[in-house]
């Protein structure tokens, strides 16, 4: 398939003007109800046509008995009816002039030989009729840029630059839900299902030219045509970082993958060797996909591996320095000039080195001064800032206790303390983003406490965002992988 044809077909899927749901239902929890209610509740701006021979009204919309009964053009059709009904529905889609089909229905190559034969039949129909087919056995698609949310799970992430392609629908939707909670903006999500017509490599080629996508996240269980995947992945990774989680790394995982998608996983050692050749960022667990997505989509790439550490307390600085060294990062000594400047704000017993231990200071200016002094120095490529954000939660707990036991302190005063704490964290985040714009070096935060706010905290008008992880090891891991990718880019002679 040519790139132009690939883009044309998938554009119709990800940016439809009209959508029909075959098997649309008003029965709570059925696939036909999950999909249509999500599309409408997500404020899709196109037209929506429920198709079901038994109902007259679903979600306030008139219901049509067949695709061919819809009096207007239909770009995209979702099918949720049993596998045996699919060939006939696809024939109608072709006659209607439909451009794309998302086949939610399972019961194909993931089951038995009869299912594999039926899958081959529907591919033949789609090719004959010029239909772009996603699936079968998929959990759906998401395109936030056009308010198109069409999955079984009603998760609606903000639009952003991270594309997710997942061969597991359930895991993919869990990742998208976590991404929404953590503030990671999404360009496209597709559960590729059985990949009867389009493989993960095809989606990569489409995303290569998608202007909304800057980072691509893949969950893979198998790769068809490994050499072609290798060629495409290497080419795209030179322009857009590819972050990959490979399922089926063990015998138990390979058997599990075969049972739910019909795919067979290759040897993990071979796949990881391929990743190294291409410079792909392969990870071991789903949470690392999200950590790297947050960092790569929100921060400038470091130019080297030298790290400055600013910490509210000494212990975290020690642990972070250890982690940096173990991950191949350097924590250099800082010049006397920086020591003197920061020392003006701190008591004489502070660390006077890197990590910069702020010894629990309450002076709200000091953390910003320390971070900027390190960023100014050409001996530092990135800064990790620990414990500055997250104090708001401790303030809240303190005021809560005070309200219970000390009536002499007014509620208005305590409200003001909480408000000031919130304002400071917002100001600090904004200032870190401004410093990243000025010095083009990443500042990676670690929150003092777990908060309801996400990992990524956007600042309006900036290409960067504040990023605050829950642990030092998460922050160091992300930075080390960014350094690794930067090294790959440099080796390729790219900027």
For the domain that residue 481 is a member of, what is the CATH number?
3.40.50.261
CA-to-CA distance for 192 and 250, rounded, in angstroms?
22
Mean pLDDT of the chain: 92
Read off the pLDDT band of 129 (50, 70, 90). very high
Q: Are residues 281 and 312 in the same domain?
A: no
- 149 and 129 part of one domain: no
257 plus 379 within the same structural domain = no
**In this structure, are residues 451 and 181 in contact, taking their beta carbons and an 8 Å threshold?**
no
pLDDT in tens, 161-191: 999 999 998 999 999 999 999 999 999 999 9
Give the torsion through C-alpha atoms of 431, 435, 440, 441, to 10 deg: -80
The boundaries of the domain holding residue 110 are 1-137
HEC readout, the chain: CCHHHHHHHHHHHHCCCEEEEECCCCCCCCHHHHHHHHHHHCCCCCEEEEECCCCCEECCEECECCHHHCCCCCCEEEECCCHHHHHHHHHHHHHHCCCEEEECCCCCCCCCHHHHHHHHHHHHHHHHHCCEEECCCCCEEEEHHHCEEEECCCCCCCEEEEEEEECCHHHHHHHHHHHHHHCCCEEEEEECCCCCCCCHHHHHHHHHCCCCCCEEEEEECCCCCHHHHHHHHHHHHCCCCEEEEECCCCHHHHHHHHHHHCCCCCCHHHHHHHHHHHCCEEECCHHHHHHHHHHHHHCCCCCCCEEEEEECCHHHHHHHHHHHHHCCCECCCCCHHHHHHHHCCCCCCCCCCCCEECCCCCCCCHHHHHHHHHHHCCCCCEEEEECCCCHHHHHHHHHHHHHHHCCCCCHHHHHHHHHHHHHHHHHHHHHHHHHHHHHCCCEEEECCCCCCCCCEEECCCCCCEEEEECCHHHHHHHHHHHHHHHHHHHHCCCC
| Rounded Cα–Cα distance for residues 121 and 217 (Å) | 31
Which structure tokens are listed for 62?
A: 């008139």
State how many domains the chain has: 3
My answer on whether 452 and 317 are in the same domain is: yes
Does the pTM surpass 0.85? The reply is: yes
pLDDT at residue 248 above 90? no
Q: Give pLDDT, residue 266.
A: 53
Which pair of structure tokens corresponds to residue 201?
């490599």
- The dihedral through the CA atoms of 188, 192, 196, 202 has a sign that is positive
Answer yes or no: do 280 and 303 share one domain: no
Least confident stretch, 19-33, 295-309, 387-401: 387-401
Range with the poorest average pLDDT among 115-119, 131-135, 288-292, 344-348: 344-348
**Residues in the chain, overall count:** 495
pLDDT tens for residues 150-159?
A: 999 999 999 9
Confidence (pLDDT) at 100: 97
**CB neighbours (10 Å) of residue 56?**
8
- Whether 305 and 440 map to the same domain: the answer is yes
pLDDT band at 249 (very low <50, low <70, confident <90, very high): low
pLDDT digits (tens, 9 = 90+) for 45-91: 999 999 999 999 999 999 999 999 999 999 999 999 999 999 999 99
Of the three residues 276, 298, 320, the one that is the final residue of a domain is 298
Same domain, 238 and 146: yes
Q: Which of 298, 316, 345 marks a domain boundary?
A: 298
Same domain, 5 and 91: yes
Among 88, 107, 137, residue at a domain's last position? 137
Here the tokens at position 179 are 């991404």
Strands 382-386 vs 443-446: parallel, antiparallel or unpaired: parallel
Pair (255, 337) in one structural domain: no
CATH, residue 28: 3.40.50.720
pLDDT tier, 265 (very low <50, low <70, confident <90, very high otherwise):
very low
**Tens of pLDDT along 443-460?**
999 998 877 788 999 999
272 exposure class (CB count in 10 Å sphere: 0-12, 13-18, 19+): middle
Q: At what angle do helices 200-208 and 226-237 cross, to 10 degrees?
A: 20
241 plus 374 within the same structural domain = no
Encode pLDDT of 218-243 as tens digits.
999 888 777 888 899 999 999 999 99
Phi, psi of 388 (to 5 degrees): -75, -50
63 and 74 co-located in one domain: yes
Tokens read off for 120? 């081959």
pLDDT in tens, 422-444: 999 999 999 999 999 999 999 99
Calpha distance 448→470 (Å, rounded)? 8
Q: How far apart are CA 474 and CA 478, in angstroms?
A: 6
CA distance 180 to 191: 17
Q: What is the pLDDT of residue 11?
A: 92
**Which pair of tokens denotes residue 210?**
């998608």
Chain centroid to CA 221: 18
* Whether residues 73 and 108 fall in one domain: yes
pLDDT grade, residue 252 (50/70/90)?
Answer: very low
The yes-or-no verdict on residue 412 having pLDDT over 60 is yes
């Amino acid at each position: 398939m040519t790139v132009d044809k690939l883009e044309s077909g998938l554009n119709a899927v990800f940016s439809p003007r009209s959508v029909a749901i075959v098997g649309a239902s008003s029965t709570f929890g059925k696939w036909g109800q999950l999909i249509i209610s999500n599309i409408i509740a997500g404020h899709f701006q196109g037209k929506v046509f429920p198709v079901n021979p038994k109902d007259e009204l679903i979600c306030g919309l008139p219901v049509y008995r067949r695709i061919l009964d819809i009096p207007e053009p239909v770009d995209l059709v979702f099918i949720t009816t049993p596998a045996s009904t699919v060939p006939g529905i696809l024939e109608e889609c072709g006659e209607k002039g439909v451009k794309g089909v998302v086949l939610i229905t399972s019961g194909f190559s993931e089951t038995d030989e009869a299912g594999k034969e039926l899958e081959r039949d529907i591919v033949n129909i789609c090719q004959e009729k010029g239909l772009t087919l996603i699936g079968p056995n998929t959990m759906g698609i998401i395109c936030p840029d056009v308010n198109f949310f069409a999955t079984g799970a009603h998760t609606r992430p903000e639009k952003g630059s991270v594309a997710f392609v997942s061969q597991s629908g359930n895991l993919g939707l869990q990742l998208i839900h976590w991404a929404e909670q953590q503030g990671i903006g999404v360009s496209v999500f597709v559960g590729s299902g059985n990949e009867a017509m389009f493989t993960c490599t095809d989606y990569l080629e489409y995303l290569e030219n998608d202007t909304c996508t800057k980072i691509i996240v893949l969950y893979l269980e198998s790769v068809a045509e490994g050499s072609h995947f290798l060629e495409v992945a290497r080419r795209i990774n030179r322009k857009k970082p590819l972050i990959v989680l490979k399922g089926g790394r063990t015998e138990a995982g390979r058997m599990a993958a075969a049972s739910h998608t019909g795919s067979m996983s290759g040897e993990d050692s071979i796949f990881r060797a391929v990743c190294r050749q291409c410079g792909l960022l392969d990870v071991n667990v789903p949470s690392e996909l999200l950590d790297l997505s947050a960092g790569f989509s929100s921060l400038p790439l470091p130019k080297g591996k030298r790290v400055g550490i600013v910490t509210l307390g000494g212990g975290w600085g020690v642990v972070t320095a250890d982690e940096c060294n173990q991950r191949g990062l350097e924590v250099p000594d800082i010049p006397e000039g920086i020591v003197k400047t920061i020392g003006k704000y701190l008591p004489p017993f502070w660390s006077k080195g890197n990590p910069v231990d702020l010894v629990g200071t309450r002076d709200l200016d000091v953390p910003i001064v320390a971070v900027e002094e390190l960023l100014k120095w050409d001996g530092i490529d990135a800064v990790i800032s620990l414990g500055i954000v997250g104090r708001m939660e401790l303030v809240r707990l303190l005021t809560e206790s005070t309200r219970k036991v000390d009536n002499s302190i007014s509620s208005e005063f305590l409200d003001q303390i909480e408000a000031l704490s919130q304002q400071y964290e917002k100001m600090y985040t904004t200032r870190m983003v401004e410093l990243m714009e000025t010095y083009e070096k990443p500042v990676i935060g670690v929150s003092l406490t777990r908060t309801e706010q996400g990992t990524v905290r956007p600042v309006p008008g900036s290409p960067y965002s504040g990023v605050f992880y829950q642990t030092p090891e998460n922050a160091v891991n992300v930075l080390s992988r960014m350094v690794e990718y930067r090294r790959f880019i440099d080796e390729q002679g790219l900027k």
